Amino acid sequence: MTHQLSRRAFMGGAAASATAALAASSALAAASGQSFFQRRGIDLGIQLYALGNTLAANLDPMLAEVARIGYRKVELAGFLGRTAAELRAAFDTAGLVCRSAHIPQQAFWPGQGATLADMPRLIDDAHIIGLEYIVLPLFPFPKGAGSITESKDVGSFLRRAGEMITADDWKVLADMLNEKGAALATAGLRIGYHNHNFEFAPKPGGKGYEILMERTDPALVTFEMDAGWVCAAGVDPIALIELYPHRFRLMHVKDIKATTRPNFSMLQDPAEVGSGIIDWHHILPVAYAAGITEYYVEQEPPFVGSRIAALEKSFRYLDRLRF
């Protein structure tokens, strides 16, 4: 995959198809007065990871804040030490729905909830919550990487694991996604994979993302594009969508600053959506046309102010988009 990101792709020069899609949709949006998402019947969501470590202890008030801002969907990152029934009750009370959850192959921390290693429990919990998508948030760690639960510096652990992963490891992961995807499909669920920027690192035997795309069954496995991490890897999201049409169903709407240097080591300078260099006016129409219907705002730390204030700023920007 040679579609490396240029400054032009970020700052306003996207592919010709993106420009055409934007021009057509802008005219309709101007006539309707609705936002990009409203006109397409899409409720904006938030990835709950962005709310930080205090969420578990303050679930109900923080979900109420999310709903007050205007978000109508959430994506889980672990079960926050609660049962599926407790989570569903909390979402119902706040007027939120949860159709997607980040579920690891094995639990990282206590209270994380169901995993891909316990399929019967995962399926039961997914139906209680109302999930449609089970998304693997990160590649399984290679042998010799150690334990993330015992690591004092999670960032350093992940960078080390990303450097260690091989093309053969990516192939094993692709086969696992096919296997789990087939099992989940019988229960009306869809498995997905969420990227960071490790997946785009050149490796002997191929880049991880290429291997996952080429080795997984499109009928069983979908992908959640984290636009922030794609861009942090120096890759153009539009080029990626066009290279793999209709392989994506979900997107993390995440922005980065111009100071972010392309890397494969989980490094980025985060920004609120609309405050960074990612050109959402061109990316969103292409994403929607390619089948992405689930959009979750997310932001990496550090935050300039409060997390809620940052996530509200991102929502207000997206809610004002008219094209």
* pLDDT tens profile 90-124: 999 999 999 999 999 988 777 889 999 999 999 99
Confidence of residue 14 (pLDDT cuts 50, 70, 90): very low
Confidence of residue 54 (pLDDT cuts 50, 70, 90): very high
| Residue 2 reports pLDDT greater than 50 | no
The whole-number pLDDT of residue 29 equals 61
| Residue 255 reports pLDDT greater than 60 | yes
The contacts of residue 298 (CB under 8 Å, 6+ apart) are 46, 47, 49, 50, 226, 228, 252, 253, 254
Average pLDDT taken over every residue of the chain: 92
3 state SS of 71: coil
* Percent with pLDDT over 70 in the chain: 90
The whole-number pLDDT of residue 17 equals 54
* pLDDT tens profile 273-284: 999 999 999 999
**Calpha distance 13→196 (Å, rounded):** 24
Angle in degrees, CA 311, 317, 323, rounded to 5: 140
β-bridge partners, 77: 102
Q: Mean pLDDT across the stretch 180-207?
A: 97
| Residue 154 reports pLDDT greater than 90 | no
- Do the Cβ atoms of 108 and 158 come closer than 8 Å? no
| Residue 5 reports pLDDT greater than 50 | no
The whole-number pLDDT of residue 145 equals 87
| Residue 261 reports pLDDT greater than 70 | yes
Domains belonging to the chain, first-starting first, are: 7-319 (3.20.20.150)
| Residue 7 reports pLDDT greater than 70 | no
The whole-number pLDDT of residue 213 equals 98
For residue 214, give both structure tokens.
């080429």
